Structure 1
Amino acid sequence: MSRHSVAREASHLQQRLESLNEARELAEGVLPDESLQEVLEILERASSRRSLSAGHTVVGFFGATGSGKSSLFNAVNGAEIATAAARRPTTSEPLASVWGVAGSEPLLDWLEVPARHHASPVNGFADEETGLILLDLPDFDSTRLANRQIVQRMVGMVDVLVWVLDPQKYADAAVHHDFLGPLSAHGAVTLVVLNQVDKLAPADVDPVLESLRSILAGEGLGKVRVLAASALTGAGVDSVRSAIRQVAIQRQAASQRMAADVSNAARSLSEASGTGKAAGVKGGTAARLSQELAVAANVPLVVDAVASSYRLEATRRTGWPVTRWLSRFRPDPLRRLNLRREAGTAEVHRTSLPHAGAPERARTDAAVRNFADAASAGAPGPWRSAIRGAAREGRDQLPDALDQAIAGTELKAGRTSWWWGLFNVIQWLALLTALGGLGWLGVLAVLGYLQMPVPEVPRVEGWPIPTLMIAGGALLGIVLALAGRVFASVAARARARAARRRLEAAVADVAERLVVEPVKVELTRFAAFAEALRKAS
């Protein structure tokens, strides 16, 4: 493989590792901790392995008791290393044979392999530029827990896995279910050797190999290379050595191993997360949420109070002066709710609206729940729960926040209308006219009572002008009062509509801040997780 291809593969692997880590971080608090911990361990192993020698390929020999694993290891290494292996006091510790010693020490320290042997050249393992480390590992079915733990750890750390099976136990469930099956994504860095074929009749070798290949194919390892060998007779040992050397000289095993680990981790996260796509926040669902919250926050009550307050103030300003004083005894609905803010007065921070009771709280909870359900529809279970949880986080703050939003909304309660002044002036002119006529007649009556000359009263069409002044003034005042009621009713409805729009906008801002925005954050988080997982896969 060319250096350009190697660099491109390394860059691609780095991107996948970064995407996997991003997916892990985004899933914190949503997916189970054990799933995230497994991914973190893979990322840490990959980071450590990439910081160590890239010129060495680590090949681990795994096998069950009686499979001849150590014998095959010795055969692959050659006679001299076999002698060194025979002097080991125990098989419970890994043994490393190393070709290309330079740079191998930190890698072996990381692998925690203290027993190391500088191997001699043997049939292709003589090129010092090809760094190679073969590990003879304890039996994976050892009765000693420490041995099994070593095997479990090494399965996750070596670059190439050589599984040594024997004809009697090649279908053993332990090796297939506990090791080979979970590593189905690692086919590119896995070799399977059927050892001890000397114990089979020549005619039985191929059927046993086919049976083994069939079992492996069922576990997703159909493309794994399967070799037959006999450590005792040496048959097939050169093929095993050649296969290992071919992997080593490509110097891609470590990257392929890490890429397979990333694929496994991504699949694990995908299984823990589940698949699906959230419906997201739609305009209609957000609008329904705001509408329900507005009702629960007594916005209709405030709107009615705005209209009533305007009509009352209009009556006080434009009603018939003889009777308008009676309206002073009627309380202002907005002032009663502590919502009347005159020009220049301090801003209202709290209202006197009725506190949210059980029905209002139930309505608020239902509105938040329905919104979250609609936004999370289609998302997998854990993320659906996270989205719903985000919507519920601000639920307890809603009553107080809504009350403050209503208190802070400009209702224009102290703003006058242009026609009030006109009507008021005419009303007082009409009243003064009526009073003038009444005074005129009163003077005439006093003169007559005192037997003094009474001047002739001007007339219009036979009607005395003082009488016309009294009747006209009173009639005009009443007509203006009635007209003012009509004007006030129309204007009150317009002012109430404007107040409703401002109040609903204030409620929508609260809903956006406490419910919609947190849900959008979780939706964005889920989308980013899915994208990062896609890149990692």
Structure 2
Amino acid sequence: MSKPTLAERLTALDTAAELADGRIARADSERIRAVAQSGSSRRELSDEHTVVGFFGATGSGKSSLFNAIVGADVATTHVRRPTTSTPLAAVWQPDGSAALLDWLEVRDRSERTGGFDKQVGPLILLDLPDFDSVRSEHRDIAARLAAQVDVLVWVVDPEKYADAVIHRDFITPHSGHSAVTLAVLNKTDLLSASDQKAVADSFRDLLERDGLGKVKVLGASARTGDGVDAVRQQIAKVAKGRRAQLERIEADIDSATSEWADARVPSQPPRDAEKALTQALGQAAGVPAIAAAVGSSYRKRLGQRTGWLLTSWMLRFRADPLRRLGLREEADESGVHRSSMPKMSASGRAQANKGVRDYAARASADLSGGWAESVRERAESALPGLPEELDRAVARTRLQARVSWGWSIVTVLQWVALLAALVGVGWYLLLWLMGSFGFGLPFLTPEVPTVEGWQVPTLLVAGGILLGILLGLLSAAFGGVAGAVRRTRARRRLLRQVNATAREEIVEPVREERERWRGFVEAVKLARRR
């Protein structure tokens, strides 16, 4: 895989800033965006000039050292605070530097003739306001330019080299820029040789504690000129390779994204997480009770149609379990399935809430803190409207508790059996009437036919009753099995609709949030790749 260009890395960083908006600390996202914008702006300007900024506290002799290195008294020096109120630029080979200095907002410019060093190309040295100035605008200028220059030169004096403001507010935030950082202990003429070493060692230890690693501390005295050439040589060494700009931008990228350097691209959520969510929402929506009602309704309707006619009529007085729940199988005149089910109970809401939160917790387990919270918020934002959505899911499910027309054959047989029994009873009743009122006349007392010794009316009565009961028992047994099948099918259909609702309201928003995290991590890794 080829290495990305700096332009591609900055574009990826800008993408990361957009994706991270609202998901990480605002200061972090603003810093990422600022680095992306600053790096892009710096690249569009002169890539020939190296910009070196001199930063220091009041009284550090920063401006005097700047003059000594420039070789002319171009920076105003004064014993009163603040020493420098606006940034000043000393420019070697100024052609093409105007736009860059405008971007840096440096108005005071001093063009230098000749070369800073024979091996160094176009160069800009900046003398900046004191970063511990009593005037906040001076500190703001120093802070802004500390984030824009290519090379940082920290100038301290023996009295303030350990000042907390220098280390906490300025050096530590740029601790990842050791490749483009120089540290100068100025006013060494005020110290003995042994004290110079002790103070320099102490300053170096503080810098390492700030995170700068192995940084060489240069001793110098702007008043006597001692060490000035060494500082000049170090500046030339950093600038002559013309990599300071690139190294500064890379250091900014690494610093801004360091928190997510080891972040992992997320895998898919556990497969059973969505299933568990669907089951929990199904329980909350009353899927088991509805499915059971479908099975019971089917058995009731089948019993009404195919049961023994002498008893099955009583089933009509038993409430239909499905209609008791306020559900209807058919769509209304507008084609919409409607429900008059009662609102979800408090326990149902609690169960739904728990299911959603459990799913969000599992789906965010492999994300960073801010993003995990965002996933949970996206999932839980669906909770207020979830009961109505689940009610719609139930209402649009085809429950299919109807008894098919094929069972009409059994109904016909039941009527045939009943008619046979009635014929037998009627036959005996007619025989009784004829025997009672026949006045002994032979032609009014006919002989009853038999089959295998059984009178035909008896066979009709017994056969009709037994056939009706047998058909009723068989259909009841089959109805129990078929009802269980209908219950299972109804549960499956209901859960399918509940799952569709869960996907739309919860799973998909969570997936989008996870994909946003994936894009952020991939963008950060691309931005950091060299």
Is the pair's TM-score, using the shorter chain for normalization, greater than 0.5?
yes
Alpha-carbon contact 1:76-1:238 (below 8 Å) kept? yes
Partners of 1:27 and 1:180 in 2: CA distance: 27
What is the deviation of 1:110?
1.4
Does residue 341 of structure 2 align to residue 353 of structure 1?
yes
Q: In structure 2, do the counterparts of structure 1 residues 132 and 444 end up closer, same or farther at CA, with 3 Å as the change threshold?
A: same
Corresponding position of 2:155: 164
Does residue 103 of structure 2 align to residue 115 of structure 1?
no
Where 1:322 maps in the other structure, the secondary structure is helix
Partners of 1:482 and 1:519 in 2: CA distance: 53
Q: Structure 1, residues 61-83: CA drift from partner, whole Å, max 9, x if none?
A: 122233222222112112xx32x
Question: Matches of residues 74-153 of structure 1 in structure 2 within 5 Å?
Answer: 74-78=67-71, 81-82=72-73, 84-85=74-75, 91-121=84-114, 124=117, 130-153=121-144
Q: Structure 1, residues 299-358: CA drift from partner, whole Å, max 9, x if none?
A: 122112211211121122112233433333333222343434359976443212222121
Q: Greater CA deviation, 185-194 or 163-172?
A: 163-172
Partners of 1:345 and 1:118 in 2: CA distance: 87
Partners of 2:265 and 2:330 in 1: CA distance: 51
Corresponding position of 2:474: 483
What is the deviation of 1:409?
1.0
Does residue 422 of structure 2 align to residue 435 of structure 1?
yes
Corresponding position of 1:500: 491
Q: Structure 1, residues 364-403: CA drift from partner, whole Å, max 9, x if none?
A: 1122222222333354432222121111111122211111
Q: Structure 1, residues 132-163: CA drift from partner, whole Å, max 9, x if none?
A: 11112222223333322221222112111112
Corresponding position of 1:186: 177
What is the deviation of 1:105?
0.8
Does residue 519 of structure 2 align to residue 532 of structure 1?
no
Corresponding position of 2:413: 426
Q: Greater CA deviation, 114-123 or 186-195?
A: 114-123
Q: Structure 1, residues 98-118: CA drift from partner, whole Å, max 9, x if none?
A: 111111111111112111111
What is the deviation of 1:484?
1.9
Alpha-carbon contact 1:57-1:253 (below 8 Å) kept? yes
Task: Identify which of 348, 359, 369 aligns with 1:371.
Answer: 359
Partners of 2:160 and 2:264 in 1: CA distance: 42
Q: Greater CA deviation, 114-123 or 181-190?
A: 114-123
Partners of 2:114 and 2:309 in 1: CA distance: 120
Q: Name the amino acid aligned to 1:27.
A: A
What is the deviation of 1:228?
2.3
TM-score by length of 1: 0.88
Q: In structure 2, do the counterparts of structure 1 residues 431 and 85 end up closer, same or farther at CA, with 3 Å as the change threshold?
A: closer
Corresponding position of 1:450: 438
Partners of 1:91 and 1:411 in 2: CA distance: 83
Corresponding position of 1:45: 38
Corresponding position of 1:290: 278
Corresponding position of 1:3: none
Q: Structure 1, residues 485-513: CA drift from partner, whole Å, max 9, x if none?
A: 11211211111111111112211221222
Does residue 450 of structure 2 align to residue 459 of structure 1?
yes
Q: Greater CA deviation, 149-158 or 230-239?
A: 230-239
Q: Name the amino acid aligned to 2:191.
A: L
Q: In structure 2, do the counterparts of structure 1 residues 232 and 307 end up closer, same or farther at CA, with 3 Å as the change threshold?
A: same
Alpha-carbon contact 2:152-2:181 (below 8 Å) kept? yes
Alpha-carbon contact 2:277-2:502 (below 8 Å) kept? yes
CA RMSD of aligned residues (A): 2.8
Q: In structure 2, do the counterparts of structure 1 residues 172 and 355 end up closer, same or farther at CA, with 3 Å as the change threshold?
A: closer
Task: Identify which of 229, 233, 239 aligns with 1:238.
Answer: 229
4+ residue stretches of structure 1 with deviation over 4 A? 84-90, 274-280, 342-348
Q: Name the amino acid aligned to 2:501.
A: V
Partners of 1:348 and 1:36 in 2: CA distance: 47
What is the deviation of 1:446?
4.1
What is the deviation of 1:297?
0.9
Q: Name the amino acid aligned to 1:422.
A: I
Partners of 1:171 and 1:323 in 2: CA distance: 101
Where 1:507 maps in the other structure, the secondary structure is helix
Alpha-carbon contact 2:45-2:99 (below 8 Å) kept? yes
Percent same amino acid at aligned positions? 47
Q: Name the amino acid aligned to 1:19.
A: A
What is the deviation of 1:93?
1.8
Does residue 404 of structure 2 align to residue 407 of structure 1?
no
Alpha-carbon contact 1:320-1:427 (below 8 Å) kept? yes
Does residue 14 of structure 2 align to residue 27 of structure 1?
no
Alpha-carbon contact 1:185-1:263 (below 8 Å) kept? yes
Partners of 2:304 and 2:55 in 1: CA distance: 98
Question: Matches of residues 256-335 of structure 1 in structure 2 within 5 Å?
Answer: 256-267=247-258, 270=260, 281-335=269-323
Where 1:151 maps in the other structure, the secondary structure is helix
Q: Name the amino acid aligned to 1:192.
A: A
Alpha-carbon contact 1:349-1:407 (below 8 Å) kept? yes
Partners of 1:303 and 1:153 in 2: CA distance: 67
What is the deviation of 1:55?
0.8
Where 1:185 maps in the other structure, the secondary structure is coil
What is the deviation of 1:21?
2.3
Partners of 1:170 and 1:201 in 2: CA distance: 16
Q: In structure 2, do the counterparts of structure 1 residues 316 and 342 end up closer, same or farther at CA, with 3 Å as the change threshold?
A: farther
Where 1:167 maps in the other structure, the secondary structure is coil
Q: Name the amino acid aligned to 2:369.
A: G
Where structure 1 has 5 or more consecutive residues not aligned to the other structure, the ranges are 1-7
Task: Identify which of 54, 65, 68 aligns with 1:72.
Answer: 65
What is the deviation of 1:276?
8.3
Question: Matches of residues 224-235 of structure 1 in structure 2 within 5 Å?
Answer: 224-235=215-226
Q: Name the amino acid aligned to 1:297.
A: A
Where 2:384 maps in the other structure, the secondary structure is helix
Corresponding position of 1:16: 9
Q: Name the amino acid aligned to 1:58.
A: V
Alpha-carbon contact 2:344-2:387 (below 8 Å) kept? yes
Partners of 2:193 and 2:83 in 1: CA distance: 35
Alpha-carbon contact 2:63-2:76 (below 8 Å) kept? no
Q: Structure 1, residues 3-54: CA drift from partner, whole Å, max 9, x if none?
A: xxxxx98x54334323332322222222232332233222222222122111
Q: Name the amino acid aligned to 1:431.
A: L
Where 1:65 maps in the other structure, the secondary structure is coil
Partners of 1:236 and 1:417 in 2: CA distance: 106
Partners of 1:522 and 1:342 in 2: CA distance: 38
Does residue 506 of structure 2 align to residue 515 of structure 1?
yes
Partners of 1:292 and 1:87 in 2: CA distance: 75
